[in-house]
Amino acid sequence: MIRQSTASAPGKVILSGEHFVVHGSYSVAAAISKRVSVSIREIRGTKSQIVSTGVTSDLDSDDGRFPAVKTVARTILSEARKEAPRITFQISISSEIPPGSGLGSSSAVSVASAAALMDFLGLSWNKAEIANFALRGEKAVHGNPSGIDIQASLLGGMILFKKGQEPRSISVRDPFKVLVVYSGKKRSTSKLIVKVAQRKSKYPNTFQRLADSASEISLEIVEASRRSELHEIGKYFGLAQSQLAWIGVSNPTLETLIEYLYEREEVLGAKLTGAGGGGSVIAAIRQDSAEAVLKFMTGRYPYSFVSEIPQEGLRWKKRKN
Ligand code: PMV
C-alpha cells in the first residue's frame, strides 16, 4: 500500500483586536466551518511536489508558489533530516478558503501541512511543535504575524490570545452563527501590518489608548460570547470597526459592504475581520434570520456564508502504509 497521510485545519475569523494584537493587545478569534485539507502520498522520482487546483511546483523550486507550505515542509525536513525516511512525496492541497480573504487560509494550510507531513514521515509531534512549524510558514507569507491565526486554526474553538501568553480557550454555552462576507478584494496582510506600525509611530499616544481599548473590547466580547449575547457582540463589533478605520485598515470597499449589511435590521453589528484593506467582514446577526440575510448578501457578494462558531481545529487521520 502507498504511504499516505491526511490532515485538515479550519480557517478563522477575528472577532476583535486584529492589528492591535501585533502590538500586545488581547484579541479574540474563532475557527470557522471552511477548511483546508492536505494529503501527502509517496511518489516515484526524485523531486517532491506540491499540487493545488491544477498548479504544480517542486518543493525545492523558488518560483514563488506555495510559500507557506514550502517553508513548513523545508523546515520539517531540515530539522528532522536524520530521523526522517528519505521518500519523495506529493503534497496535495484542497481549500474552501479564498487566499487573501482574511479568513486564515495560509495558517490553515500551514497547520494542516505541518501535521500531515510529520505524520507522513513517521515523526512524533505535539501541538506546540505544529504551531512552531506552522508559524514559520505564516511568516513566509505575512512577515510579522502575531500567531493568533495559527492558534485558532490549530486549537479550534474560540480563543483569547495575547502575544507571549498561552492562548486561552473560551467555552461558549451555545454555539452561535455569524455571517461572513468576502469583499472579493485580495490584499497583503504584511503590507497592512507595516501601515499600522507607521500609524503607531506617528501617533504613539492615541495608538496606545486605542490598543488598550481594543483589549477591553476583546474581554467584553469574550463575556458576551460565553453567554451568546449577540446584541452585545454586535455593539462591540461596531466600536471595533471605527478603531480599525482610524488605524487605516478599512477602505471604501469595506465601508460600502458594511453599509449594505446594515440595510438589514437583522444585522446587529459588523466589522472587518483580519487584516482589512479588503478581505472579509463579519456580522453578528439575529439567529433566526441567518439564512435570509445570507440570501440578501450573496446577491451582491457571492462568497458569503454563515458559520456556526466555534468549530473543531486540526483533524488528522493516522498514516496508512
Ligand atoms: O491573516 P489575516 O489577514 O486575517 O490577519 C491576521 C490578523 C492581524 O492581526 C492583522 C495579523 C496578525 O498576525 O495578528
What is the 3 state secondary structure string of 241-279? HHHHHHCCCCCHHHHHHHHHHCCCCCEEEEEEECCCCCC
Tell me the C-alpha distance between 178 and 230, whole Å: 9
According to the model, what pLDDT value does residue 238 have?
98
8-state DSSP, 293: H
Range scoring the smallest mean pLDDT among 32-41, 42-51, 84-93: 84-93
Is the CB of 196 within 6 Å of ligand 1? no
According to the model, what pLDDT value does residue 81 have?
64
27 burial (CB, 10 Å; 0-12 / 13-18 / 19+) is: buried
Distances (CA, A) of 87 to 120, 155, 157: 10, 30, 35
Bridge partner residues of 267 (DSSP): 285
According to the model, what pLDDT value does residue 304 have?
96
Find, among 73, 75, 149, the residue nearest to 106 by Cα.
Answer: 149
Q: What is the mean pLDDT of residues 236-241?
A: 98
Atom of ligand 1 nearest to the CA of 106: 1
Is the CB of 157 within 6 Å of ligand 1? no
Ligand 1 pocket check: which of 15, 16, 19, 280 to mutate, most ligand atoms within 8 Å of Cβ?
19
Atom of ligand 1 nearest to the CA of 103: 4
CA 261 and chain centroid, separation: 22
Residue 228, CA atoms < 13 Å, CB-side half-sphere: 13
Catalytic residue (choose from 149, 174, 212, 288) = 149
CA–centroid distance, residue 273 to ligand 1 (Å): 9
Is the CB of 21 within 6 Å of ligand 1? yes
DSSP, residue by residue, 99-124? TTSSS-HHHHHHHHHHHHHHHHTT--
Which residue is it, cell 515542509? 73
> Cβ(275)–Cβ(237) under 8 Å?
no
Decide if pLDDT at 48 tops 70.
yes
Active site includes 60? no
First to last CA, the chain: 5
According to the model, what pLDDT value does residue 260 have?
98
The pLDDT-based confidence of 35 (bands split at 50, 70, 90) is very high
Is the CB of 18 within 6 Å of ligand 1? yes
Decide if pLDDT at 45 tops 80.
yes
According to the model, what pLDDT value does residue 142 have?
82
Find, among 108, 102, 178, 179, the residue nearest to 138 by Cα.
Answer: 108
Atom of ligand 1 nearest to the CA of 148: 14
Range scoring the smallest mean pLDDT among 1-15, 56-70, 80-94, 270-284: 80-94
Who's near 178: CB < 8 A, 6+ residues apart?
Answer: 13, 282, 283, 284, 285, 306, 307, 309
Q: What is the mean pLDDT of residues 209-213?
A: 98
What is the per-residue pLDDT across 240-270, written as a single tens digit (0 to 9) for each? Answer: 999 999 999 999 999 999 999 999 999 999 9
According to the model, what pLDDT value does residue 205 have?
98
Decide if pLDDT at 216 tops 80.
yes
Is the CB of 234 within 6 Å of ligand 1? no
The pLDDT-based confidence of 317 (bands split at 50, 70, 90) is confident
Q: What is the mean pLDDT of residues 111-128?
A: 94
Burial 262-278 (b: 16+ CB within 10 A, else e): eebebbbbbbbbbbbbb
According to the model, what pLDDT value does residue 68 have?
95
With a pLDDT cut of 90, the percent of the chain lying above it is 88
According to the model, what pLDDT value does residue 157 have?
97
Q: State the cell numbers at 154.
A: 490549530
According to the model, what pLDDT value does residue 321 have?
67
> Cβ(309)–Cβ(13) under 8 Å?
yes
Q: What is the mean pLDDT of residues 226-242?
A: 97
According to the model, what pLDDT value does residue 310 have?
84
Q: What is the mean pLDDT of residues 61-72?
A: 96
